[in-house]
Amino acid sequence: MGKIGILVTFLALISAMRCYSANWDDAAAALPFGQAVASAPASLASIGKPAAPSIPDTDFKKWFSTDPSADPYAPTVWAEIAAVTATAGNQAGWTAVCGKISAAAGADRTASPALGALACSDAPAVTAIQQFAVDLLAEQAAIALWIDHAPDASIPGITSRQGQVRLDCATLVVVAATVPASPFAGACTRVADTAYLAGDAQTTFKAIGDAYALVAGEIARQSPAIVGEPVYFDSKPK
């Protein structure tokens, strides 16, 4: 290649490098690095935590009627129980539910353990146990509504609820059957009943009711005083 060819090639390379440099500078200037980041819109800043669920006023005492003539599968009662327990699966929901029931149950949990099991406790370990009580009651509601031929009731719905209470037995430390004679061990034995799969939902309904009674009695023993708000393990001191 002659001198002129080498010179032309050299000039072409210089020109290309300048173009590349210019394009890179322009691109780099467009990047957000080192630039001020726009603040979040005021509309986002105004969004707070979701409100706690609204629990309707009801006569909670009728959930555990001792009237021998009362229908144990009363659809209006169990539909109400199903709706309320469905809101109690998280901290905000449980705070709203137990607060309402505390107002109805009075100060002494032992006076009515079945209702008192759903009232607030100031013992974090008991607050944890109460989720098991809620899940038991939700399963019993699913069975009762199935017996009543409620439109949305189904065997898979009962099975799903049963799976949850079995999970409670396997995972909640306070519910684990470490002591065979404990009330929780007895409750966890009863929740395994599958008579409903053979068409005998009444037997499973009773088994879950007996399990709930054992758990309610233990909750009353461990935390006899009812309070207005629940205390959790992660609750901050006031």
pLDDT (average), residues 213-223: 95
What per-residue confidence (pLDDT) applies to 51?
58
Q: Where are the domains of the chain?
A: 1-29, 60-222
Rg (CA), the chain: 31
Do residues 161 and 142 make contact, with C-beta atoms less than 8 angstroms apart? yes
Q: Check whether 35 has a pLDDT greater than 50.
A: no
For the chain, what is the mean pLDDT?
80
- Determine the Cα–Cα distance for residues 77 and 85; give it in Å rounded to an integer: 12
pLDDT in tens, 126-150: 999 999 999 999 999 999 999 999 9
What per-residue confidence (pLDDT) applies to 58?
85
pLDDT in tens, 61-100: 999 988 989 999 999 999 999 999 999 989 999 999 999 9
Do residues 188 and 169 make contact, with C-beta atoms less than 8 angstroms apart? yes
Look up residue 81 and give its two tokens: 């129980």
Do residues 209 and 233 make contact, with C-beta atoms less than 8 angstroms apart? no
- Determine the Cα–Cα distance for residues 10 and 30; give it in Å rounded to an integer: 31
